[in-house]
Amino acid sequence: KTSMKGVWRYKEIVHPVLNNNQIITKMEGDTNIYHHPKLSEYSGIKNIYMKHEGENPTGSFKDRGMTVAVSEAIRQGFKKTLCASTGNTSASAASYSAYAGIDSYVFIPSKKISKNKLLQAYSYGANIVNIDGDFDTAMSNLRETLKKRSDFYVLNSLNPWRIEGQKTIIYEIMEKMRPDFISFPAGNLGNTSAFGKALIEMKEMGMIDYVPRLIAVQAEGASPFYNYINNHEETLHPVRAETVASAIKIGNPVNYIKAKRSIEFSHGIVERVSDAEILEAKKIIDRAGIGCESASATSLAGVKKLREKGVLDASDTVVGILTGNLLKELNTDIQINMLTIDQVMS
């Protein structure tokens, strides 16, 4: 019996028609929520909590969507999966495809993504296609490929089953607490879409009597959704993305329409933070002993910024989502100041 833990505890609202024996799961979900005085002090929010999606099997929230999407791929009889990725999706897709016994193909800007995400995809046996460009190039290459090939099952978040799985992050939070705000990084806007959908459904089913406000946080150099929402633009204007947070280095997010609905329904906020703010927040999270990859730290950086602007109140309850594990970025350039034995002994 593998089905009633984590994501699959919510099977009826995630994929009701799948039989239990069709589920491909590595026990994703049921992640921990952390509280630490350093986070409160830094953000100015006493009741700030961090839900750690880096605790999932391949080290990111992607596994929640991947268990559902790969189960569906198998149900439909596909033998090959395909995704474009900044690293985490490809790591998760490669793992779940291999676990299900089918082949995976990943389109990645291999020179630009974190080396250990690339190592994950490689080790799980993915067919790696190097894209000369960035994530947005990889995504358009994927769309072109799909025009010519019908034997690939797409595992990007434009696949609705990914969204269904990622909804469970919100279900888990709302079962445990009553946050005023939920803050998270926003790149391709899969989570933004999923979180809004979860809240809409929970409200409609009478499972919640209020709706927490979503806070989607982008990196300044990759913030087309920030512009789209806050400047009330007709359509999203893609940008050439640049940020240290390689996971969210995305200039042309595919899910922006669904994401807009999420922001509107939850009276949400779209914020943006600089690379310096991201790295500073990451250090706070790391030094609190919690740890995360840099893209994830936007969730804390955004909360601090919104508190400083007076949008958030010191007494608000906020849950931040840490989307990826600290170990995802071993190649980040760091200067480690080490001590000598003599310094310690004296």
> Is 187 an interacting residue with respect to ligand F0G (CB under 6 A)?
yes
Query: Cβ 126 to ligand F0G, closest distance in Å?
Result: 13
Q: Which of 158, 189, 214, 318 binds ligand F0G (CB under 6 A)?
A: 189
- Contact between 236 and 228 under an 8 Å Cβ cutoff? The reply is yes
> Is 299 an interacting residue with respect to ligand F0G (CB under 6 A)?
no
Residues 122-161, mask of contacts with ligand F0G (x by CB under 6 A): -----------------------------------x----
Q: Which of 71, 85, 97, 168 binds ligand F0G (CB under 6 A)?
A: 85
What contacts 45, CB < 8 A, 6 or more positions away?
303, 307, 312, 314, 316, 318
- Contact between 238 and 224 under an 8 Å Cβ cutoff? The reply is yes
> Is 252 an interacting residue with respect to ligand F0G (CB under 6 A)?
no
> Is 191 an interacting residue with respect to ligand F0G (CB under 6 A)?
yes
Burial tier of 201 (Cβ tally within 10 Å: 0-12, 13-18, 19+): middle
Token pair recorded at residue 239: 């940008």
Contact region with ligand F0G (CB under 6 A), list: 44-52, 174-182, 268-276, 293-301: 293-301
Q: Which of 58, 323, 326, 329 binds ligand F0G (CB under 6 A)?
A: 323
Q: Is 110 or 188 the residue whose CB approaches ligand F0G more closely? A: 188
Q: Is 118 or 284 the residue whose CB approaches ligand F0G more closely? A: 118
Q: Rounded to whole angstroms, what are the CA distances from 164 to 141, 264, 308?
A: 25, 19, 34
> Is 25 an interacting residue with respect to ligand F0G (CB under 6 A)?
no
Centre a 10 Å sphere on the Cβ of residue 147 and count the other Cβ atoms it contains: 7
> Is 65 an interacting residue with respect to ligand F0G (CB under 6 A)?
no
- Contact between 214 and 196 under an 8 Å Cβ cutoff? The reply is yes
Query: Cβ 211 to ligand F0G, closest distance in Å?
Result: 20
Token pair recorded at residue 313: 């109140």
Contact region with ligand F0G (CB under 6 A), list: 25-33, 95-103, 146-154, 179-187: 179-187
Query: Cβ 297 to ligand F0G, closest distance in Å?
Result: 10
Nearest CA among 337, 306, 304 for reference residue 38: 304
Nearest CA among 194, 120, 126 for reference residue 162: 194
> Is 186 an interacting residue with respect to ligand F0G (CB under 6 A)?
yes
Nearest 5°: the CA angle 326, 332, 334 is: 105
Nearest CA among 9, 45, 51, 13 for reference residue 28: 9
| Chain contacts with ligand F0G (rule: CB under 6 A) | 60, 85-89, 157, 185-192, 247-248, 293, 295-296, 323-324
